[in-house]
A = this chain, B = another copy of it.
């Protein structure tokens, strides 16, 4: 059980669309750099190997790989070599031809879980089949980890479920498109992550990306939020690649108390939350 803090890293990369070999290499270099800085859990962005802005489904399928492909093998190798747990977003082509926007959790034992993004953003339904199952919480040597992908974070029902299922650290590969914001405002995506962490008293590690693909740029808002909802590490939003680190006492996420008399979970009134018409 994790009594000591776990050093968590989020890696903000700049994948180049279609440069699978180069993206994979840069991701592995970043994992090595994070581990060199003491990271024990490393989170990489969504679709970290393929890039994001596919022209069409054919291009997406051509860039994807089977789950038991070179990216998973390389991540496993890195997990062994650096003694880290890695969460990463990959485009996964299933045996029956289904293409998924997935996140994998890999440690020295190999693949611990795979999660298929349930809430698809923008044109993603042209390329990907959405998942139909919640993420599995995995007991690792550093604590209980769970996965979500990008737009999933904007559905508080989903973050709540993962927390109720026992996740202490939610690892979230994302690609947050930059849609602009009022001057001086922190991106809404970042504060949404903060609030998801606070509402559930979990740690939340979001690895965003930078760079540009076919006219789309990105928030570059990688963040590690603690169970009080404030950032423990936050990208300066300057558009650069980065490895952000925070020491997270994950056991704190098992205590749902807020103030001396309240509790994020026990204070819920679930029997009142039914949604008429659903």
Contact = CB atoms under 8 A, between A and B. Distances in A.
A273 B157 contact: yes
Nearest to A192: B195
Interface in A109-151: 118-123, 130, 132-134, 151
Contact of A269 (B118, B198, B199): B118
B119 A269 contact: yes
A55 interface: no
A158 B191 contact: no
Interface stretch (A182-190, A204-212, A248-256): A182-190
B195 A158 contact: no
Contacts of A165: 276
Contacts of A268: 155, 157
Contacts of A261: 121-123
A181 interface: yes
Given A157-B160, A199-B192, A268-B155, A179 B259 contact: yes
Contacts of A186: 186
A118 to B, nearest CB: 6
A154 interface: yes
A158 B273 contact: yes
A278 interface: yes
Contact of A270 (B185, B195, B228, B275): B275
12 contacts: A118-B272, A122-B260, A134-B272, A154-B199, A155-B268, A157-B157, A164-B275, A164-B276, A185-B230, A188-B229, A191-B194, A191-B195
